[in-house]
Amino acid sequence: MEIQKNYRKVPIRECGESLVPIPRDQFVFFDPAPYVALGASYGKASPWMLRTGVLAALQKAQDWLHRQRPGWRIMLFDAYRPNEVQIFMVEREFGFKAREAGLDPSALTPEQREKLAEKVFRYWAIPSDDPATPPPHSTGAALDITLADEQGGEVDMGSPIDEGAPPATPDYFAGATDEAGRRAHEHRLLLRQALRYGGFRQHPGEWWHFSYGDQMWALAERQERGGAEIPAIYGRADLV
């Protein structure tokens, strides 16, 4: 949970950009949207939305990818996520972790829940209605993605999106000696390079999570620039 403690302290200077739909003809999408398929309710929103500046950065990343691998495209798993959806997914994960520990998810004591939280929030952002600490996806500036080949098929990354296990770490396959591991690392590097070209930053514990302009992005920018006071420019994004 250390990264959450750090990025949630970064101040936000909201720039006021709108949430806009992600063009369906420019990228490949998981269909149906994974969390919708699980029963999460987005209300009037859609997971396929981003801030205008973030969408422009994503299009820039895709242009770079096209030059390196003609026909390949960025494949979206999830983008905008209202806080209500974050709550839904976090509670679902608490249920999984409780059952793994032999506990009844509906009858957790405060002590049991606190212990499980260490595992749940290792990969899931903490839901929050506080404007100062929005979950990254609730800003419209974070997205979960992978790569699609010329046929639109999902490229092998070595582990699936949302897998809460060590292989989720971006450089997990860096020292692989087998062909499958080397290929997975090559694909992860390609994805990272494309998104870095667009100005995004990668979550240190998830190969699929990238953000641009949110608190996690600002923290990474600060660290690279030697502690410069760089604020986030995207806070919680609500449809009006």
Which tokens hold the place of 189?
């590097």
Which tokens hold the place of 151?
């046929």
119 burial class (0-12, 13-18, 19+ CB within 10 angstroms)? Answer: middle
List CB contacts of 67: < 8 A, sequence separation 6 or more.
none
DSSP 110-125: HHHHHHHHHHHTTTSP
Identify whether the C-beta of residue 161 lies closer than 8 Å to the C-beta of residue 146: yes
- Strand positions, DSSP E, the chain: 19-21, 28-29, 49-51, 73-78, 142-148, 201-202, 209-211
Count the Cβ atoms, other than its own, within 10 Å of residue 187.
Answer: 21
Q: Evaluate the CA torsion angle 24, 170, 166, 82 in order and state its sign.
A: negative
Angle at 129 between CA 164 and CA 233, to 5 degrees: 85
Q: Which of 14, 84, 186, 206 is catalytic?
A: 206
List CB contacts of 208: < 8 A, sequence separation 6 or more.
77, 144, 145, 146, 157, 161, 162, 168
Angle at 224 between CA 218 and CA 229, to 5 degrees: 50
Known catalytic residue: 179? Answer: no
**Catalytic residue positions, numbered:** 206
